[in-house]
Structure 1
Amino acid sequence: MKFTNKEVLIFDLDGTLIDSVPDLALSINQMLKALNMSAFSTEVIRSWVGNGAEVLTKRALSGNIEINPELDPSFVTKALTIFLDFYEKNVCVDTSVYPHVKATLESLYSSGYRLMIVTNKPEQFVRPILEKLGLNNLFEIVVGGDSLPKRKPDPMQLEYVCDKLSVAPSKCLMIGDSKNDIFAATAANMESIGLTYGYNHGEDINTHGASLVLESFADILGSLEPTTVVAR
């Protein structure tokens, strides 16, 4: 299928544009070490990423993707503070851009599409990462996981972007790697692209109702019919 009349492209960040797991894993293990707890492999931590910093912290403290309901809230708060402090110091050390992402984004931007980021990552980390990876000037709006009262899979972040730009959801397209992205788009009456790589906790992205599923980020270019957007 091809999408028509799209003006605004909204991208998830972690697992969609960038692989941030190496730095997240390093910071989580530094947190666990500070709390005298056992560390985990990068690949185990990779399976926990995708629902924001607090959920990642809870999973690490639980030692499992299923969060221990008996975790002490004050202990979680302490651990989260330690994690975020470590992550701030290591926010873009080994984080990398996925193949074809930069060239595709630059092509979309040059074609006149308005590019946004909606992520569950705390907002304070997003622009520094984009800046270091040479992507910052491409995005008009960044909405983080703590920017609003609710985050994906709730549609609030996407609705905020539509309101901010005075653009109907039908003119927007959500692009992400996890069910949170797809569910948020569906709830916002927005079409979506699901990407097969990234962080979806081992689940098949095809099962979550995306309008289109792609294996390569570069294929986004071929999924868009020419529109009235004005090339820059």
Structure 2
Amino acid sequence: MTTLDSDDTARRGGPVQRGVIFDLDGTLADTAGAITAITAGILTDMGREPDEAAIRATVGKPLDQNFAYLLGLPLDAEQVGEAMGLYRRRFGDHVRSEGRRLLFPGVAPGLLHLREVGRKLGVATSKVHAAAVKTVQITGIDDMFAAIAGHDSVARGKPHPDMALYVADRLGLAPEECVVVGDGLADIEMGLAAGMATIGVSYGVATAEELVAAGAHTVVDSFCAVVDAVLAGVVIAA
């Protein structure tokens, strides 16, 4: 892991992103497998035949939209609400049983290092705010973040810029002072729409090629590499 601080970066002539806005599922927490399995189990219980590829494609998106799509029903359908209730209970049980083990390698020390060298950290996730807070608390990283935004924190969720801009405001930073880190195409699209630098992580849902095609300014394959990229400064081509 690099030991560059913001002064080192400035001397090297690179940009300094003082704020880092992280996605949660698939970026900080290794939950994609559990999300897929739990969702498939619920669909089976409801008499549907789950399509794993279709389910995995919904990871990182709002829960109500996911179940409406997977069940082929409108958002306000009773079965959608039932599925969401089952999911929240089962996923909550999984998070509580796994705790800190859910974090990808390097996340806990990496976040601490970023904070120690003066970066302001936030979370922007398609989970609702309460679920996001519970997840970071149970995984033991809640004290790393100065701001957490969920899908219900803003009028429009990802890929719109609202959530990233909301977090930047809470961090007391301008958009150009922030970098968005995420594993999903919507994370990259959100960051770009907000006028922020973006780092795609290829160890989550989207592939490196997909993240590059979405416009990610850089793509890395580990959380330690995320830290290195943040501290080196993510260059946005003119």
Partners of 2:198 and 2:164 in 1: how far apart?
Answer: 12
Map 1:1-232; keep pairs closer than 5 Å: 4-38=15-49, 45-61=55-71, 68=72, 71=74, 73-74=76-77, 75-94=79-98, 96-200=102-206, 204-225=210-231
Q: Offset of 1:115 from its aligned partner?
A: 0.6
Contact 1:106–1:138 (Cα < 8 Å) also in 2: yes
Q: What letter matches 1:83 in structure 2? A: Y
Q: What percentage of aligned pairs have identical amino acids? A: 26
In 1, the alpha carbon distance for the partners of 2:207 and 2:67 equals: 16
Deviation digits for residues 18-38 of structure 1, max 9, x if unmatched?
Answer: 111344245324533542334
Task: Give 3-state SS (helix, strand or coil) of 2:225's partner.
Answer: helix
**RMSD, matched Cα:** 2.8
SS of corresponding position for 1:142: strand
Distance 1:103 1:89 in 2: 25
Runs of 5+ unmatched residues, structure 2: 1-11, 234-238
Q: Which whole-Å deviations, capped at 9, do the CAs of 1:155-175 have from their partners, x for residues lacking one?
A: 001111223333111111111
Change over 3 Å in CA distance of 1:58–1:93 after alignment to 2: farther
Aligned residues: 219
CA displacement at 1:213 relative to structure 2: 1.2
Alpha-carbon spacing, 1:87–1:219, altered in 2? closer, same or farther (3 Å): closer
Q: 1:100 to 1:141 in 2, by over 3 A?
A: same
**What secondary structure sits across from 1:116 in the alignment?**
strand
SS of residue matched to 1:18:
coil
Aligned partner of residue 36 in structure 1, secondary structure: coil
In the alignment, residue 87 of structure 2 is paired with which amino acid? F
| SS of match in other structure, 2:48 | coil
Higher helix share: 2
* Structure 1 stretches lacking a partner, 5+ long: 62-67, 228-232
Q: TM-score, normalised by structure 2?
A: 0.79
